[in-house]
Chains A and B, each alone.
Chain A
């Protein structure tokens, strides 16, 4: 097994008196989809935001590509190649696909943007992800369906030569066909060698695309297991009770790996 690209140990996070994350250990490996599951309020989004630099962690270390890093802002995370795809709040409706994909990192000089290069790169990225549902890369995002928006948001993260992509419930608001489309895309990201973290509530989706599953239970990492080593029922039990048979909390060395 290769070294994890992102290696988190002993991460703690409190909001005032509320201790949300307890001594979290969490690994993300390149070329793998790691599903992050857990009940509502378990702390999944908070963990992602700590990694993304939106919240500062109280303690704990984050190693990226074997090197300890300090992520203090979204910019730090982006510079390392860590991208987050939020369920919403990701795109500006009034801008078109190209403008959204390059938002904050426009090409060209500040006083003359290089539209041609951006448009070409956006199209090539979408093509490399085999996205075939957008009529034109100059379509305003307001005219896209929910699935297409999510696709653009994900493609945006790929454009940046990113190494780790974190997706917080990317399919929560989508229909069946659109969910399909996004899951395919998630798989393709991993095939391109990125480390992918997928937060999802849907067990079928998780079992379909994830190589590994990390279960958060009340702010603690209950288990990090390989998908092929567990059953549906076990994961549900881990989510709801924090343990299942010999996997889960209450055991000091909780990971089966």
Chain B
């Protein structure tokens, strides 16, 4: 067959229709109405994606806006973004784990460990040995070393490199520097992920059990680091404080808007027209333009609103897009790119969709399954930086049960499947926004913690139900 092909491949632009006709009824382009019908039929088949979450978000915003006049105030909206950001970031990492059909219940407390190390390095001016005591310090280094070794056994060299870097930073005792602290937190998260990944994928324990055990263990580690009833403040570092509490300048905000919206438009349109020209499968141009226009409008409107002074106090001026926005957007872009455009991402989906098929296709299933835990814990450490910054301190409850439920809930509510194979990083952002709105709105309505917990739990249950039902729907739609 290969001898016949060149004639076809050499002239794709001259006669893009050759391949299409040869392939019978294969179509590369659809009209707008066909695309809409196609989308509806996919919804019917149970491929709901983020739609339920987006609809829920709209409903929640309407409800809270009508019940509370503060809810839609600019200050509250900006605050809401920063409140949910840390957990949303953790949820982004959890999406990777969910995609291969596993769960990481330790993501919250693993992030707490990273946060505690960050805080202690800052508070002790780099002297972790003094802060932890020699026994604990040696065990900490040993844990990082274990992470490095296990990562090497799995051939996840990035995990080894980060773990070793963590040892170097911790053992060198270099004095406090916010950037070094953040890097150390990240390294700690990576090392933790290497341990989790090895236990799940090499030893073959169910991830539910491994991460439940580690959930408890890391909670103990945080307590050990910080001490019963202790709190380590970090807000005296301007950088660490600004991560979640600072804002871009007005100019910077617009620059971000131009980069984000412009970048999205350039990437989407560039890809669309290239594919169209080469006769590849594309969405209708009208829909692509609509998407780009919609995102652009939202981006510009949000920037315009966030660059207005939103201070409730006449003496201070607060303007600009919170730093958490570019942080979350950056992680969103990276995560989406990795999952959609790289071989690694493709293999993650394959392992989640059909592990045996992936294995037979030559995918290194063991390594992929381990690596998602490394990604998850590393990203969770970044989440810890953000939520610690928001609170201004790290206490023994850091990354506890609420953080975990919020993060897993965000991923699932956004549309990532608990059964593996289905989900996107953007699901975490959408779901995280839903949960942040719930928490913020109920707080404004002065609902007690009991109500907040019950409502959050019910929302999560609802999302899991949608997930299970749409999965059943999809299964029965085949054949």
Is A126 an interface position by the 8 A CB rule? yes
Contact between chains at B358 and A126 (CB < 8 Å): no
Expressed in whole angstroms, the Cα–Cα distance for A93 and B477 within the complex equals 12
Stretch from A4-12, A29-37, A136-144, A241-249 that touches the partner: A136-144
Is A14 an interface position by the 8 A CB rule? no
Stretch from A59-67, A115-123, A197-205, A223-231 that touches the partner: A115-123
Residue from A75, A95, A132, A146 in contact with B349 in the complex, judged by beta carbons closer than 8 Å: A95
Q: Which residues of B contact A74 (CB under 8 A)?
A: 360, 362
Contact between chains at B9 and A124 (CB < 8 Å): yes
0/1 string, B329-370, CB within 8 A of A gives 1: 000000000000111101001101110111011110000000
Q: Write the chain B residue with the least CB distance to A99.
A: B346
Contact between chains at B45 and A91 (CB < 8 Å): no
Expressed in whole angstroms, the Cα–Cα distance for A86 and B28 within the complex equals 29
Contact between chains at B341 and A112 (CB < 8 Å): yes
Contact between chains at B343 and A127 (CB < 8 Å): no
**Count of interface residues, chain A, beta-carbon cutoff 8 Å:** 51
Expressed in whole angstroms, the Cα–Cα distance for A140 and B358 within the complex equals 16
Q: How far is the CB of B54 from chain A (nearest CB, A)?
A: 21
Q: Write the chain A residue with the least CB distance to B351.
A: A92
Contact between chains at B9 and A120 (CB < 8 Å): yes
Residue from B2, B26, B422, B477 in contact with A123 in the complex, judged by beta carbons closer than 8 Å: B26
Contact between chains at A94 and B421 (CB < 8 Å): yes
0/1 string, B268-294, CB within 8 A of A gives 1: 000000110011110000000000000
Is B228 an interface position by the 8 A CB rule? no
Is A113 an interface position by the 8 A CB rule? yes
Contact between chains at B343 and A106 (CB < 8 Å): yes
Contacts known (A110-B343, A123-B23, A127-B19); A94 close to B353, Cβ less than 8 A? yes
0/1 string, B57-96, CB within 8 A of A gives 1: 0000000000000000000000000000000000000000
Within B383-398, the residues touching A (CB, 8 Å) are none
Is B314 an interface position by the 8 A CB rule? no
Interface SS of chain B: helix, strand, loop or mixed?
loop
Is A125 an interface position by the 8 A CB rule? yes
Q: How many A-B residue pairs have CB under 8 A?
A: 135
Contacts known (A95-B350, A128-B4); A120 close to B280, Cβ less than 8 A? yes
Query: Which of B25, B358, B362 lies at the interface centre, i.e. has the most chain A CB atoms within 10 A of its CB?
Result: B362
Q: Which residues of A contact B26 (CB under 8 A)?
A: 123, 126-127, 134-137
Is B445 an interface position by the 8 A CB rule? no
Within A69-95, the residues touching B (CB, 8 Å) are 74-75, 78, 84, 86, 89-95
Residue from B24, B274, B353 in contact with A92 in the complex, judged by beta carbons closer than 8 Å: B353
Contacts known (A119-B280, A120-B280, A145-B479); A90 close to B360, Cβ less than 8 A? yes
Expressed in whole angstroms, the Cα–Cα distance for A113 and B343 within the complex equals 6
Is A256 an interface position by the 8 A CB rule? no
Contact between chains at B28 and A94 (CB < 8 Å): no
0/1 string, B25-37, CB within 8 A of A gives 1: 1111000000000
Is A15 an interface position by the 8 A CB rule? no
Q: How far is the CB of A29 from chain B (nearest CB, A)?
A: 19
Q: Which residues of B contact A110 (CB under 8 A)?
A: 342-344
Expressed in whole angstroms, the Cα–Cα distance for A176 and B137 within the complex equals 69
Q: Write the chain A residue with the least CB distance to B420.
A: A94
Q: How far is the CB of A105 from chain B (nearest CB, A)?
A: 7
0/1 string, A209-229, CB within 8 A of B gives 1: 000000000000000000000
Contact between chains at B19 and A89 (CB < 8 Å): no
Contacts known (A93-B421, A124-B19, A136-B281); A158 close to B1, Cβ less than 8 A? yes
Is A131 an interface position by the 8 A CB rule? yes
Q: Which residues of B contact A131 (CB under 8 A)?
A: 23-24
Is A252 an interface position by the 8 A CB rule? no
Q: How far is the CB of B361 from chain A (nearest CB, A)?
A: 3
Expressed in whole angstroms, the Cα–Cα distance for A78 and B363 within the complex equals 13
Contacts known (A132-B25, A145-B479); A95 close to B8, Cβ less than 8 A? no
Q: List 12 A-B contacts (CB under 8 A).
A: A89-B356, A90-B360, A93-B354, A95-B353, A99-B350, A103-B358, A103-B361, A120-B19, A124-B9, A128-B5, A132-B23, A144-B478
Question: Which 3 pairs of residues, A with B, have the shortest CB-CB distance?
Answer: A132-B24, A92-B353, A104-B361
Known contacts A75-B362, A99-B350, A120-B19; 19 further A-B pairs (Cβ under 8 A): A78-B362, A89-B354, A92-B352, A94-B352, A95-B350, A105-B361, A105-B362, A110-B342, A112-B341, A115-B280, A120-B12, A123-B26, A124-B5, A124-B19, A133-B24, A138-B281, A140-B47, A142-B477, A158-B1
